[in-house]
Amino acid sequence: ETGVTQSPTHLIKTRGQQVTLRCSSQSGHNTVSWYQQALGQGPQFIFQYYREEENGRGNFPPRFSGLQFPNYSSELNVNALELDDSALYLCASSKQGQQYFGPGTRLTVT
């Protein structure tokens, strides 16, 4: 158990729709990172939030956006979904360098 939860577990959306994925991390974990993992690939860094501010972004377009809240929860929003957005989305919180991953949300775009 990492103490990091994600919801929903699975999600099916249609191309062009918008989706919000949620992550809840442990108390005191001020940093949360989001990753996209396509089938058969390693995860790719989307962005990181630290104390509710974006703190770095990977090579993802602006239609990927996020929020972090004071209660250590965060959101990943994706607008105008494309078929290639189908993937496992992982969040990870950090404390003292140690990474704690959530179980992931599997998004399928049809």
By CB under 8 A, name the binding residues for another protein.
2, 31, 33, 35, 37, 41-45, 48, 50, 55-56, 58, 88, 90, 92, 94, 97-104, 106
CB of 16 to another protein, least distance (A): 26
- In the complex with another protein, which residue's Cβ is closer, 35 or 64? 35
Residue 60 CB, nearest distance to another protein (Å)?
A: 13
d(CA 3, CA 87): 22
d(Cα 107, Cα 97) in Å, to the nearest integer? 28
When the beta carbons of 16 and 54 are compared against another protein, the nearer one is: 54
- Give the other-Cβ count within 10 Å of 44's Cβ: 14
Q: Which is nearer to another protein, 65 or 100 (CB)?
A: 100
Provide, rounded to whole angstroms, the least separation between the CB of residue 62 and another protein.
19
Cα–Cα distance measured from residue 70 to residue 32, given in angstroms and rounded to the nearest whole number: 12
Q: Which amino acid is at 102?
A: G
Q: State phi, psi for 84 to the nearest 5 degrees.
A: -70, -5
